Amino acid sequence: MFSFITSLIPTSYFLPEWLTLDTNPLDCLLQGLVGACGISVLCSLMRVHLFLEEESWSDKSDKDTSNQRTASHQRSANKGLFGTLQFFLVTGVLAVVGSRVASLVVLEFCLRAVSGLVTAGPESSKFLQQLLVQSQFSLGCALSCGLHFLHEGASQRWLCLLLAAALSWFLARQATLLLHHVMALYKLHSSQRYCGICILLLTSGRCLLPMLCRTLIITFSVAVVAAVSIINRHFLSATEALRFWTPLTICYTLLVVYMQEEQQRLSGSQAVLNTVVVRLGGLMVLMLTVGRWADVLHILMCFLGEASCLIPTKDLLDAASSQDEDDYTEYVKRERRRRPQEKEHHR
């Protein structure tokens, strides 16, 4: 019924083909809603993880500094109307971005993640937390193109996407409620030990970050298969596919090397925002060479999507960097206290 209604809308008479959506607008909207809900779940659980880490360090470090950070996270978590507008903006961007460009964003992120984890070395934990925050829009694209691939050809596709959107909305809502509960009552409940949720987070809260990593690995693994299939579908011959994949691989290999050097030179959110401009700018130049006008339009939408995801979560990037600096400061203090004790022991 929905496909019959959308077929009556005469968009093809007024808009060129490269401005129309890949599928009917309802499917695109539901896919974008699932992607935005996935981003919301990731941000909420990352805030819970960082809050638990700061609480674990509050007993060892200065409590005034810990209270200042906690208040900062509470202000960022209680976004109210701004958070709602940001959620629907991300939903709209993911609905408009086509499956082809979403697939390219997924492949680019996977290449960057693998190369970064290989070269991170002893800073792997810091890089991992920053990578999770940077993966927000890429996660939305992964969910969107994965659903596009898995439900393609289904007779009741809109119903399957509606069920997926309802489940995603429920999970996002539960993650948001968990974040507000932890921010408001974790200190009291963990000390009194009469809340099951807070006791569970107190005893096994360190498993939250590995669980997020495993979930993202599964999601992006499915999305990579879907992305390769979606992109190869637009080529008529192997020669045309080779002409597309060769400059794409070379371009993004060089970009990955440049971005890793840039992140070592800068720190925090500034390096992340710079790399977003560089990698999406490189993708736009590539699409102007071997792509279509629709791809260029969708990449411009990706700039808006990345900005709407990263700018509200700059505090998460800064918290991950400052947390790593605090770890190093605490290590130096322990070493300084240990050296006089060792000297006295030798005497």
Regarding predicted confidence, which is higher, 199 or 171?
Answer: 171
Total domains, the chain: 1
Residue 125 covered by a domain? yes
> Is the pLDDT assigned to residue 60 strictly greater than 50?
yes
What is the per-residue pLDDT for 14?
A: 45
User: Which one-letter amino acid corresponds to residue 243?
Assistant: R
Residue 3 covered by a domain? no
3-state SS, residue 249: helix
Mean local confidence (pLDDT), 74-97: 80
CA–CA gap between residue 13 and residue 131 (Å, rounded): 44
Assign 107 a pLDDT band (cuts: 50, 70, 90): confident
Q: How many residues does the chain have?
A: 347
Residue 73 covered by a domain? yes
Give the ranges where 60-156 is alpha helix by DSSP (H): 63-77, 81-96, 99-120, 124-134, 136-150
Query: Range with the lowest mean pLDDT among 26-35, 240-249, 289-298?
Result: 240-249
Place of tokens 């298969």: 225
CA–CA gap between residue 39 and residue 33 (Å, rounded): 10
Assign 153 a pLDDT band (cuts: 50, 70, 90): confident
> Is the pLDDT assigned to residue 31 strictly greater than 90?
yes
CA–CA gap between residue 346 and residue 226 (Å, rounded): 64
Residue 241 covered by a domain? yes
Domain that holds residue 254: 22-336
Residue 14 covered by a domain? no
Residue 45 covered by a domain? yes
Residue 150 covered by a domain? yes
CA 16 to chain CA mean position, Å = 32
Residue 320 covered by a domain? yes
Q: Mean pLDDT: which of 81-95, 245-259, 277-291 is highest?
A: 81-95
List the one residue out of 39, 42, 61 whose CA is nearest residue 50.
42
CA–CA gap between residue 73 and residue 4 (Å, rounded): 47
